[in-house]
Amino acid sequence: MDRSLKKTEQERIRIQGIELFLNGIPPKQIAKQLDVYPQTVYFWIRRYKSVGTNGLLAKPQKGNPKISGRVSIGEIRTLLEKDPNSLGFPFLSWNGPAIVQLIESRFGIKMHKKYIYRWLAKSGLTFVKIRSKTVKNTQL
């Protein structure tokens, strides 16, 4: 089964496979019809026999919930346009760890700083790192 399918579509295919099995269709034929491996159909059958229809439902994803859908990029953009000090953060400018703190404090979502860079880039937001030059104190 294609993993790019939505969970509800995957569940629908599993249930359809079990319905075919209950109607007397052999597992290998079900596999061909649904374009899955025969072992997959046998797995569905074992799960159905041991747990029932609930065994065919998608399991919840592990890990932190996705940020998209819980926070709009517009909200983040508006906050990032402000100075971090004005929002109560002890930073001079925004960087990954600072944005992670902002999202956690404002929206209650914990995330890793590596993920925030990818999420911002996917959302069309980028920022430039400013490198400071050290000025040598030269006396003449």
The verdict on residue 137 lying in a domain is no
Greater pLDDT, 22 or 1:
22
Distance from first CA to last CA of the chain, Å, rounded?
75
Please check whether residue 67 lies inside any domain of the structure. no
47 and 86 part of one domain = no
| Least confident interval from 4-18, 23-37, 69-83 | 69-83
What local confidence, expressed as pLDDT, does residue 14 receive? 93
- pLDDT for residue 100: 87
Q: How many domains does the chain have?
A: 2
Is residue 81 situated within a structural domain?
Answer: yes
CATH number, position 28? 1.10.10
Q: Is 25 a residue whose pLDDT tops 90?
A: yes
Per-residue model confidence (pLDDT) at position 66 = 63
pLDDT in tens, 89-138: 888 888 888 888 888 888 888 887 778 888 788 777 776 665 655 555 55
Contacts from 40-46 at CB under 8 Å and sequence distance 24+?
A: 40/1, 41/17, 44/14, 44/17, 44/18, 45/18, 45/21
pLDDT at 35 over 80: yes
pLDDT tens digits, 63-96: 655 666 677 778 888 888 888 888 888 888 888 8
Q: pTM for this one?
A: 0.48
Domain that holds residue 16: 7-56
